[in-house]
Structure 1
């Protein structure tokens, strides 16, 4: 049961990281800033995601 739970948490983190990267790419930030944010999210998946959620660039959201 433990490995199933860990796998599920890993998939959720992966999905959130992909979502964050897509939002960074869609944002109006400069290319260099986008690359730095993407590297932060890829190299530090959990911490990078938290930092991006607090301070990172966001893409335009359509509702």
Structure 2
């Protein structure tokens, strides 16, 4: 059970870092970027889900 929890936490950490990098690369304003990053950092799983559904998209 401990292995599953650790693996799940590692996956969430990697996805959060990926989301933060995408927020930084997005065309959103500075204030919006700061708010999105704070949401992802303070609420890692919930923030990630909200960002995936409604967050700014990166410049491609």
Band of TM-score, shorter chain: over 0.9
* Residues 6-54 of structure 1: per-residue CA shift (max 9 Å, x gap): 0000000000000000000000000000000000000000000000000
Q: How many residues align?
A: 60
Structure 2 residues not aligned, in runs of 5+: none
What TM-score comes out, normalization by structure 1 length?
Answer: 0.92
What TM-score comes out, normalization by structure 2 length?
Answer: 0.96
Structure 1 residues not aligned, in runs of 5+: none
- Bigger Rg over Cα: 1
Q: Give the match's secondary structure for 1:12.
A: helix
4+ residue runs over 6 A deviation: none
